[in-house]
Structure 1
Amino acid sequence: MSELQSTASGRPLIGCAGWSIPKEAAAAFPGAGSHLERYAAVFPAVEINSSFYRPHQPQTYARWAASVPQDFRFSVKLPKAITHEAKLVDADDLLDRFVREAGELGPKLGCVLVQLPPSGVFDAAVVADFLPRLRARFPCMLAIEGRHPTWFGDAATTLLREHGVTRVIADPPAGQPGPHVPTTSASYLRLHGTPRVYYSAYPRAFLLDVEQRIAALARPGADLWCIFDNTAEGHSVPNALDVLRGVDVSAAA
């Protein structure tokens, strides 16, 4: 299928998994407003992870959308009821509920993120049935983070390309046996923290590499997400701020 056009302004969509602002980074944000309003005054995007664990009311998504600038984008994680419990099978009712909820983000819904369990083996028949159902409900960017080695083989690559679904670039790259093989012109980096997943802060040398990778991945008309998920001890925000500043300085040079 043909790839979707970017839903953003062309600026790399750098942000965090959630919009909590640690005290140590508070000076970089406005003092007034809700946490989301303050966050969105600095970052162009956020990943909603809480949707994986529990549903949110449609009016909650609508309120979030109304709290951010027009060019701000949300990535929303598909519920575990679909990915981990139903295992992508017979999930129409769950998908319908999710689109009624997250669809309230309107044009600010930039991506639906599908993170699969480490034990989730790629099944071509299941995936070929599921992806059109997901696409029919969400015309935005779709990204899949497979964490079993079978999700990195040729069959998975072919199906993801056929349906215009972006393969996530993860750190650490769970299950990935070799170099990243892209499936669309869009990119989605998820940086979970290394060596301790969700906890470790990234050193400056790694962040410089991320900035260089963002520059190398940029494609006209295609979204480029970079989400820091090392949230457990508040390192995602300062790490993301460093990369945001570095990318903005490079773009202005």
Structure 2
Amino acid sequence: MPVIATAAWSIPRGVAEHFAAEGSGLTRYASVFKGVEVNSTFYKPHRASTYVRWADSVPDDFRFALKLPKAITHEQRLIDIGPLFDDFLEEIEPLADKIGPLLCQLPPSLVYDPVVVEPALFALRQRFKRQIVIETRHKSWQSPEVLSLLERHAVDRVLADPAPVWPADTFPMPPVYVRLHGAPKIYYSTYEDPEIDRFRRLLAADSWCVFDNTASGAAIRNALTMIGRSV
């Protein structure tokens, strides 16, 4: 079954009855979901004790998808990122086998430049052998050259909604990582049942589908709906 998740693990009061009554917010979230996307790693580093607490709060088969720090993607803009990535991998090490995909979300202004991108992908892949996914937001990434480069470094594209670069019909195989930001109002709009069904049909057994429309509390509700339609 795909990993259906949300960005962060805040549980709105209106759906609280679907989750375990006791434990931390993360423990209660993990009583229903098998994974979560952590966006806070984009903004700031966390202490080792924080990751230990997270790992201890969830079952053995739970996974954390982790967003790369903005220092890598938005400040350095993929240039000379090896040392920064080393620091990040050391930071998240306490999660151990509970580390899921690493998410590289690029700024909308970052134009594709193979002179920059190829060494960056090499640096990421050389250091991390598990799943890396990339969400690009500049249309210059819409080219066969990009697809070939990503395939060469075993970096998977994110199917985002809205999709500024790679809409669903550009994925010949089921997408391995889907991020549903909400449309038409990003981070706020809810997805109706037919839309949830449409995205659910795109997923493979090993796909991730992350609802990122968290600002209105819709993400958890939408994710619960998708889970209910997946069993």
Provide TM-score, normalisation by structure 2: 0.95
Q: CA deviation at 1:103?
A: 2.1
Given that 1:150 and 1:156 are in contact with CA atoms closer than 8 Å, whether structure 2 keeps it comes out as no
Alignment of 1:41-120 (within 5 A): 41-120=31-110
Given that 1:19 and 1:36 are in contact with CA atoms closer than 8 Å, whether structure 2 keeps it comes out as yes
The secondary structure found in structure 2 opposite 1:179 is helix
CA distance in 1, matches of 2:174, 2:131: 11
Worse-superposed segment, 61-70 or 169-178: 169-178
Given that 2:159 and 2:166 are in contact with CA atoms closer than 8 Å, whether structure 1 keeps it comes out as no
Flag structure 2 segments of 5+ consecutive residues without an equivalent.
none
CA distance in 2, matches of 1:185, 1:24: 33
Alignment of 1:154-169 (within 5 A): 154-169=144-159
Given that 2:159 and 2:168 are in contact with CA atoms closer than 8 Å, whether structure 1 keeps it comes out as no
Worse-superposed segment, 228-237 or 173-182: 173-182
Q: CA deviation at 1:181?
A: 3.3
Given that 1:145 and 1:167 are in contact with CA atoms closer than 8 Å, whether structure 2 keeps it comes out as yes
**Of 32, 47, 57, the match for 2:22:** 32
Q: Which amino acid counterpart does residue 210 of structure 2 have in structure 1?
A: I
Q: CA deviation at 1:234?
A: 0.5
- Structure 1 segments, 4+ long, off by >6 Å, are none
User: Could you say which residue in structure 1 is the equivalent of 2:207?
Assistant: 224
CA distance in 2, matches of 1:97, 1:121: 26
User: Could you say which residue in structure 2 is the equivalent of 1:209?
Assistant: 198
Q: CA deviation at 1:127?
A: 1.4
CA distance in 2, matches of 1:84, 1:130: 13
User: Could you say which residue in structure 1 is the equivalent of 2:4?
Assistant: 14
Q: Which amino acid counterpart does residue 224 of structure 2 have in structure 1?
A: L
Q: CA deviation at 1:151?
A: 1.5
Q: CA deviation at 1:152?
A: 2.1
**Of 119, 123, 128, the match for 2:118:** 128
CA distance in 1, matches of 2:147, 2:80: 23
1:178–1:187 CA distance, 2 compared to 1 (3 A):
closer
The secondary structure found in structure 1 opposite 2:55 is helix
1:152–1:195 CA distance, 2 compared to 1 (3 A):
same
Provide TM-score, normalisation by structure 1: 0.87
Given that 2:174 and 2:202 are in contact with CA atoms closer than 8 Å, whether structure 1 keeps it comes out as no
User: Could you say which residue in structure 2 is the equivalent of 1:3?
Assistant: none
Given that 1:152 and 1:177 are in contact with CA atoms closer than 8 Å, whether structure 2 keeps it comes out as no
Given that 2:162 and 2:182 are in contact with CA atoms closer than 8 Å, whether structure 1 keeps it comes out as yes
RMSD of aligned Cα (Å): 1.6
User: How many residues in Structure 1 have an aligned counterpart in Structure 2?
Assistant: 231
Q: CA deviation at 1:104?
A: 1.8
CA distance in 1, matches of 2:147, 2:120: 15
The secondary structure found in structure 2 opposite 1:201 is coil
User: Could you say which residue in structure 2 is the equivalent of 1:246?
Assistant: 229
Matched, 1:199 2:188: yes
> Structure 1, residues 26-83: CA drift from partner, whole Å, max 9, x if none?
0100110000000011001100001111111122112211211111111000011110
CA distance in 2, matches of 1:58, 1:111: 19
Given that 2:158 and 2:175 are in contact with CA atoms closer than 8 Å, whether structure 1 keeps it comes out as no
Q: CA deviation at 1:178?
A: 8.0
Given that 2:159 and 2:175 are in contact with CA atoms closer than 8 Å, whether structure 1 keeps it comes out as no
CA distance in 1, matches of 2:117, 2:9: 32
**Of 95, 105, 128, the match for 1:138:** 128
Identity of aligned pairs, percent? 48
Given that 1:198 and 1:229 are in contact with CA atoms closer than 8 Å, whether structure 2 keeps it comes out as yes
